[in-house]
Each structure stands twice: as C-alpha cells, then as structure tokens.
Structure 1
C-alpha cells in the first residue's frame, strides 16, 4: 500500500532521471541534495523492510519461499 506505492514512485523517478538526464546547468546543488536525501531515505526504508522480513522469517519459522511470493489477495 503506502510503502509499495512510494517505492514505485522512487523507481519511476530514477527511471525518469536516467532516461532524461538533466543538463549541467539544471543540476544545481539544491536538486542534487534533494535527490540524494530521497535515495538515502528509501534506502533506509528498504533496509528496515528487509530486516523485518528476516525477523518474521526466524520468529514465525516462515519458509523464505512464502516471503518472496506476493500475497494472493
């Protein structure tokens, strides 16, 4: 839901930047700093999510295949 959508937004943003790289003039300090902060924030989010998965796996003895399979809702 929330995290999933946000993660997709970040992936789309990264794709957009990679396919339409800004010129040197456009890439000012503020934009660069904002971009790096965003990457840092979602890297931390991703690490937390992975830690939670590992924790749940050991805690509840869930096989890894079940964690990797998307929920069939």
Structure 2
C-alpha cells in the first residue's frame, strides 16, 4: 500500500506574513487577482500560475503548499 499525500495550499498565509495584498501579488506575478483569491480553496492549480506566483514571491513552488505524508 502506498503513502497518501495530503497537499494544502498556504498562499494566503504567506501573503499575510509578508504584508502583501492579493492585488499587489497580481501585479507582481501577472496572475489575475481572482485566481489568487481562489488559490487556497481550489484543489487544482494552473501550472503557469503556480510558477509565476512562486517566482514573484521568491519561493519554491513547494513552499506554496503544506505537504503531509499519511501512511
């Protein structure tokens, strides 16, 4: 039996920690504000958006998520 991986988005926490608004991130990344607003609620993410957001924030894509391994 394989491990189950649970992935939880954490973009809004990162923005709060850094004092960045969704509108500011939209301008920095080129990702529409509506997509940023829905990021933590969605279970699917557009690859290009994830990379653009990570690049704008200076983090790795994995840092946008909490990844947990559950046996």
Larger RCO: 1 or 2 (CA < 8 Å, sep 6+):
2
Fold conserved (TM > 0.5)? Answer: no
User: Of the two, which has the highest radius of gyration?
Assistant: 1
- If the length of structure 2 is used for normalisation, what is the TM-score? 0.32
Q: More helix per residue: 1 or 2?
A: 1
- If the length of structure 1 is used for normalisation, what is the TM-score? 0.32
Q: More strand per residue: 1 or 2?
A: 2
